[in-house]
Structure 1
């Protein structure tokens, strides 16, 4: 009986006590209503209740000078204010926003003012590892930061297959050829493609009042009638063409300049191979913006990101002549602003 009484007392004492477990500085993951500090990997009390949060920041691809990021967003869409994506070459620089840290926000990528879930960061150094954190801010000025992720850019590409440099290659013809359409214009050091939508009837019809027409048009511009073999000929290995080993890291690069008052949507860029006769079999990429009133800005897209309407990715095998095919058309369609002037130059495949 004595033993049972002591046991009962002990149980009662334990049941009556509340043991405080300190959560400050606890290693992540964290309990409900706490947040993880990704720089210290410890739990902290939030200073505000974020109405919009983000997760799963990830780098989907990289080239020598660009990284394409995606993420998830949750919360109240109406409370979204803006994103800020910060990159740095070390976690210390990322945390202090100093040294090598670079901030991409609405001033560099206007689309970060919308609740999107992807963006391309450009102008990066080759062969460099970048640490990244995405911060989303809601309308009450409460900010929420993602976990930190890292991705390296690729080494500087050493070889190029030219599609346009001062002039079209491989017999290419610039179209449309009607008055006011795109032109190859000399610029003193060479030549570039220039397009002024307001001079082109297909974009801004002459019989309509200029001020009343829609601000944008999607006129495609094409380099057609090419016979561009981009695969390496073993009989001429000195040519800077692609091969099976380099294709996976190859990318399209083109320099774009916009004199338009607003950002321009780069809707589609595509390759059409010799046997392709419909739009569905073109290999297409796109869906990013060109900043307003920008000087020449190189944009890069991995060749592996080009896909047909059936989501079939471009591969080296379909380009490897003679079993594969040469490229007969390269084209692009922007949402041209009617008051803009656009210049396109140095269209190359780099590897």
Structure 2
């Protein structure tokens, strides 16, 4: 009898479950908070679910502001999808949400024309997938909202969520190396041959002629030829006691100091890919080169367009290989502090893959703190 009651009860439960199941339906989740189910996406402005009008083949996530200088922010993200489905990125910044949404007012749109890396899946002559970019021409001490969009080959677009980052304050002191006075005594343009100092209205700039650079050799036999050259361009032979001559540079203020170089790619069929800027200390030897670089830090090839490259001191590091092992040494205040056994600054240069038929001009180079 107990068994029968159990069977009857189980039957009733099964019937009830059937009745409930017959009433279940898939509701319209529009307007509900994210995350969303397949076929829907999260609207970055309302953070609610919106039904897809197309099915994106590529997606982006994890937009992050890694660091900020007074006029630029360095962003990274994660790409999802196949290379063959990728069309382009757009990175949009604005000072408020309404401008970000409408792309008006304070909004700045970074596309492949302004940042060439945003128009390619992979950096040319490499296997580096584009998952970072630098947005420039920003105002100091300003909070920016950012959205990254990716579009697939079918013109279906998706985006990240909104991220906020504030630029660094404008600093008050500077040491001008190029573009603010006469050529420093004992200094040299590099590489030689290829680069030279050009007088400009009481000061000078560095002009690099790719066709005159005999150091751009063809690769070893068996390796494919390429039209670009990675020679660094800049100035060395300096002896700048940055800390000793400038009490404003202290250990406490080291993180606020940065290196700034204004460059122009001239008469070149391609941008400068794999960009980096470098501060050289002591004797300018391999172990004294401190750089910030990125596979995706790119300078557009637009005649007359000057691009301001910035790198905070706390982002500079020395990268070299010893006994087959990669070693990274961060740039620290003690390395330029005479009281701590530090050395003078020996040079500043810019690197990257430049087209051999093009020129590069360094209009200004300075240390700001």
TM-score of Structure 1 vs Structure 2, range by shorter chain? 0.7 to 0.9
Q: Secondary structure at the match of 1:263?
A: coil
Q: Which residue of 1 aligns with 2:366?
A: 348
Instruction: List aligned pairs for 1:78-157, cutoff 5 A.
Output: 78-115=84-121, 116-157=130-171
1:51 pairs with 57, 77, 99, which one?
57
Q: Which residue of 2 aligns with 1:308?
A: 318
Q: Which residue of 1 aligns with 2:298?
A: 289
Provide the rounded CA distance (Å) in 2 between the counterparts of 1:266 and 1:331. 14
1:173 correspondence with 2:181: no
- CA change 1:261–1:13 in 2 (3 A) is closer
Q: Secondary structure at the match of 2:273?
A: strand
Provide the rounded CA distance (Å) in 2 between the counterparts of 1:188 and 1:255. 17
- Consecutive unaligned residues in structure 1, runs of 5 or more: 206-212
Provide the rounded CA distance (Å) in 2 between the counterparts of 1:73 and 1:56. 9
Provide the rounded CA distance (Å) in 1 between the counterparts of 2:170 and 2:210. 35
Provide the rounded CA distance (Å) in 2 between the counterparts of 1:281 and 1:199. 27
Are 1:204 and 1:338, in contact at CA under 8 Å, matched by a contact in 2? no
Q: Secondary structure at the match of 1:93?
A: helix
Structure 1 residues 218-227 or 90-99, which shifts more?
A: 218-227
Provide the rounded CA distance (Å) in 1 between the counterparts of 2:365 and 2:191. 18
Q: Deviations over 1:156-207 (max 9, x none)?
A: 12111223334443643334444xx3221112352211122223444489xx
Are 1:70 and 1:119, in contact at CA under 8 Å, matched by a contact in 2? yes
Are 2:277 and 2:311, in contact at CA under 8 Å, matched by a contact in 1? no
- Consecutive unaligned residues in structure 2, runs of 5 or more: 122-129, 219-224, 320-326
Q: Which residue of 2 aligns with 1:252?
A: 259
* CA-atom RMSD in angstroms: 2.7
Q: Which residue of 2 aligns with 1:243?
A: 250
Are 2:32 and 2:49, in contact at CA under 8 Å, matched by a contact in 1? yes
Q: Which residue of 1 aligns with 2:229?
A: 217
**How far apart are residue 334 of structure 1 and its match?**
3.7
Q: Deviations over 1:117-161 (max 9, x none)?
A: 000011111111111111100011111111110111111121112
Q: Which residue of 2 aligns with 1:158?
A: 172
Q: Normalised by the size of structure 2, how large is the TM-score?
A: 0.82
Aligned length: 335
